Amino acid sequence: MRYLIRKFGFYLVALWAALTVNFCIPRLMPGDPVEIMMSKLGQKGPVTPETRQSIEALLGADSSRPLPRQYGDYLAGLATGDLGVSVTFFPASVIDIIGRTLPWTIGLIGLATVISFLAGVGLGTLAGWRRGSWLDNLIPVTTMFQSVPYFWLALILLFLLGSVWPLFPLNGGYDVYTVTPGWNGEFLGSVLYYGALPALTIIVSSAGGWMLGMRNMMVSTLSEDYMLTAEAKGLRPGRIMRRYAARNAVLPSISGFAISLGFVVAGSIVTEAVFSYPGIGSALLQAVGGNDYALMQGIFLIITLAVLGANLLVDLLYSVIDPRIRARS
Amino acid sequence: MTADTVALTAPVTRRRPTWPPLTAKLAAGLILGGAVVLFGLLGPLLVQDPSRVGDIGLAGPSGDHLLGTTQTGQDVLAQLAYATRGSLIVGAIVGVLTLLLSAFFGIVGAYAGGWLDELFSLFTNIVLVIPGLPVVIVISAYVPDKSLLLVSLVLAITGWAGSARVLRGSTLSLRGRDYVLACRVAGEKRWRILAVEILPNLIPLLASQVVFAVIFAILGEAGLSYLGLGASGSFTWGTMLYYAQNGLALRLGAWWWFVPPGLLLALFGAALSLINFSIDEIINPKLRSQTRASRRGWRMSSEQLRKAKESTL
């Protein structure tokens, strides 16, 4: 129980820190984001005083108000879910855009990450178990894949599988010409088809890291005394591998999974840029390109919240898998 | 006072630093990495001006241009040399900054203990969970003219926390060891224990963290530049790929433009990983020791088993 309270406490502090970073960045940076946004909004249509106010609260233009007051306005705006209006997608509100793009990102990046984690850990277990086998010798090759910049690998695969041998579509999230979005088989099939190549690039580039980490932990675990005991008892090798070695060796990988979620988000932005995928990363880049600061800050906030939430989930899961964590506190 | 000076001036028996054994992995890593660094250092002195526009655009490799030309007739080899230098500079700056930041927050906090440790560790964990690249993107969106130094600085600020956490873990384990406690009892000063007794044991770990930081920085900068958010007016592997992508090098099949920067990046990354493997084997002796295969040799043969069974019956 104390473990849970500590964890929740930590994530509350982290949440506060994220909100504060989001508050400070536009105020510390040179330039006047509110004026830029206002002039852009003005070109698209009339700007109501309320819109101006909410954007000022988010980005901080009104220097006559003291900072603590601005901070209060900002938090109050967030509490009501008011993230301002987007310029790029005028007149949609920032919240709308996030709601529209987030499912694409979670579907693609989330699934691909989980698949690559499971595949990497599985292969790493086997590689560590049969040290020196062909699978183990494959590890330097997969590390090579890891040091290849992700977007370059994605570009090459896109070039080969999209242009040279057109097996996969070049960009987009689904076939916009022939299918209508909705819960029908055609649309879902199209989404799977369009998502296959981006997912493949993510798996190819990240499974190697999990594999290496798991393999090294397996090798460490295998030299423990209790492994010797298990072998001496004459247990079946499969049982030793799964219940004795893998279960203990996987723990660092799981806590590593939590840490890597931040990198996953980072990767998703690049993935979506390469494949023009209609997710939240593309929206962020469009916002950056169009000086759409409200949308940019909103997306940054949502990404941070998602990463914090996922981290909390993994932490809770970890305490289920490893009883020592609960016992210690 | 006098006791301290005596302790300080007394001849110290120097421990030989443990260099990693020169395995095939380490040798390959050093040679590859050294070659790339050498190319980055000396290459720019030997090639033409990378921005000079020529008449022949998008020409394949030839005697005049060993790696062909870009869309506007710039020499790819010249660009590659300058890009290598740019990327290595980013890697070096971030490596040094990460070393300083992570050592300060990881080692000093863990060694001091108490509320300072709690505070530093909380700060580290918060920086760790806030995703780095979005912060970098947001910051670079506000600053229109970025120098290479600024980009490196932002990358270092968002990237040091992982190393700090690793360092904190091993500092905690070191400071509780018997020999450190003995030094304390012997009246050694606290900073001296940290600098002379603990730090040398952390050097392999620090080295591997710096190598990681360099890889991450170079990859991070490349990703940022590829998105068009890198330092303005600079040459790095990432900006080369950005211009190649914008110049439709992929569609036009101009492989000599987009393959070399990516390949060089991958080579350098692989070289650093190989070096890191060798360092890992020092830090974690279990990676070297006994394997299951060697243990299999202890097994009794079926002949011996039968004999043993017979004798017990």
Residues in chain A within 8 Å Cβ distance of B270: 143-144, 147
Q: Strand runs (DSSP E) across A123-230, as ranges?
A: none
What average pLDDT does this structure show over A126-137?
79
Q: For chain A, where do the domains classified as CATH 1.10.3720.10 start and end?
A: 98-328
pLDDT score of B97 more than 90: yes
pLDDT score of B8 more than 50: no
Check CB contact under 8 Å for A270 and B134: no
Check CB contact under 8 Å for B142 and A29: yes
What average pLDDT does this structure show over B138-149?
81
The complex scores an ipTM of: 0.76
Check CB contact under 8 Å for A147 and B270: yes
pLDDT score of B38 more than 70: yes
pLDDT score of B216 more than 80: yes
B141-145, B148-152, B280-284: which has the highest mean pLDDT? B148-152
* pLDDT tens-place string over residues A133-191: 777 777 777 766 777 777 788 888 887 887 777 777 777 767 767 766 667 777 777 77
What average pLDDT does this structure show over B248-274?
81
Residues in chain A within 8 Å Cβ distance of B214: none
Chain mean pLDDT for chain B: 79
Closest CA to A311 of A254, A271, A272: A254
pLDDT score of B205 more than 80: yes
Q: How many CB pairs under 8 A join A and B?
A: 160
Residues in chain A within 8 Å Cβ distance of B238: 149
Q: Specify the amino acid at residue A157.
A: L
* Host domain of residue B230: 22-38+67-283
Residue B283 near residue B212, CB atoms below 8 Å: no
Torsional sign, CA A52, A53, A54, A59: positive
What is the rounded distance in angstroms from the CA atom of residue A267 to the CA atom of residue A147? 14
Lowest mean pLDDT among A121-125, B1-5, B39-43, B305-309: B1-5
Question: Half-sphere exposure (CA, 13 Å, Cβ side) for A8?
Answer: 5
Residue B258's alpha-carbon distances to A130, A201, B58, B122, B244, in angstroms, are: 38, 18, 12, 42, 6
Would B203 be classed as within a structural domain? yes
For residue A291, the tally of other CB atoms under 10 A from its CB is 19
What average pLDDT does this structure show over A316-329?
73
3 state SS of A93: strand
Residue B94 confidence (pLDDT)? 93
What is the rounded distance in angstroms from the CA atom of residue B167 to the CA atom of residue A47? 52
Is the Cβ of B45 closer than 8 Å to some Cβ of chain A?
A: no
Of B128, B219, B293, the CB nearest to A131: B293
Closest residue of chain B to A281, computed from CA coordinates? B134
pLDDT score of A265 more than 80: no
Would B274 be classed as within a structural domain? yes
Residue B15 confidence (pLDDT)? 54
Check CB contact under 8 Å for A148 and B292: no
Closest residue of chain A to B241, computed from CA coordinates? A152
Residue B95 confidence (pLDDT)? 93
Give the DSSP letter of residue B144.
S
| Tokens, residue A14 | 């982290």
Would B45 be classed as within a structural domain? no
Dihedrals phi, psi of B75, to nearest 5 degrees: -75, 125
What is the rounded distance in angstroms from the CA atom of residue B83 to the CA atom of residue A310? 37
Q: Note the Cα B131 to chain centre separation in Å.
A: 19
Check CB contact under 8 Å for A222 and B137: no
Residue A124's alpha-carbon distances to A110, A137, A245, in angstroms, are: 21, 11, 12
Check CB contact under 8 Å for B262 and A26: no
Which CATH number does the domain housing residue B187 bear? Answer: 1.10.3720.10
The CATH number of A98-328 is: 1.10.3720.10
Higher pLDDT, A210 or A184: A210
Lowest mean pLDDT among A89-103, A219-233, B151-165: A89-103
Q: Specify the amino acid at residue A215.
A: R
Residues in chain B within 8 Å Cβ distance of A13: 122, 126
Is the Cβ of B289 closer than 8 Å to some Cβ of chain A?
A: yes
Residue B6 confidence (pLDDT)? 44
Residue B60 confidence (pLDDT)? 67
**Which of the four pLDDT bands, split at 50, 70 and 90, describes residue B284?**
low
* pLDDT tens-place string over residues B59-92: 667 766 667 777 676 777 888 888 899 899 999 9
| Tokens, residue A142 | 């997969």
Percent of chain B with pLDDT over 70: 80
Number of domains in chain B: 1
* pLDDT tens-place string over residues B15-32: 555 565 667 778 888 898
Higher pLDDT, B214 or B65: B214
Check CB contact under 8 Å for B138 and A300: yes
Percent of chain A with pLDDT over 90: 0
Higher pLDDT, A96 or A59: A96
Residue A308's alpha-carbon distances to A21, A163, A217, in angstroms, are: 14, 38, 26
Residues in chain B within 8 Å Cβ distance of A31: 142, 144
Residue B93 confidence (pLDDT)? 93
**Which of the four pLDDT bands, split at 50, 70 and 90, describes residue B286?**
low
Residue A62 confidence (pLDDT)? 58
Chain mean pLDDT for chain A: 78
Provide the β-strand partners of residue B75: B69
For residue B158, the tally of other CB atoms under 10 A from its CB is 21
Lowest mean pLDDT among A89-98, A140-149, B265-274: A140-149
Residue B301 confidence (pLDDT)? 67
Q: CA of A252, closest CA in chain B: separation in Å?
A: 12
Closest residue of chain A to B292, computed from CA coordinates? A222
Residue A99 confidence (pLDDT)? 84
Residue A124 near residue A181, CB atoms below 8 Å: no
What average pLDDT does this structure show over A245-266?
78
Residue B41 near residue B85, CB atoms below 8 Å: yes
Helices (H), chain A: 2-28, 33-44, 49-59, 67-79, 94-105, 111-129, 134-137, 139-147, 150-158, 185-222, 225-233, 237-239, 247-275, 280-289, 293-321, 323-328
Residues in chain A within 8 Å Cβ distance of B290: 223
Residue B130's alpha-carbon distances to A18, A253, A298, B159, B202, in angstroms, are: 7, 19, 15, 10, 27
Would B73 be classed as within a structural domain? yes
Residue A195 near residue A173, CB atoms below 8 Å: yes
| Tokens, residue A210 | 């999990």
Residue A149 confidence (pLDDT)? 74
Give the DSSP letter of residue B58.
S
Largest CA distance in chain B: 94
Residues in chain B within 8 Å Cβ distance of A269: 133-134, 137, 227
* pLDDT tens-place string over residues A15-64: 888 888 888 887 777 666 677 777 777 776 677 777 777 777 666 665 56
What is the rounded distance in angstroms from the CA atom of residue B74 to the CA atom of residue A313? 51
Residue B264 near residue B37, CB atoms below 8 Å: no
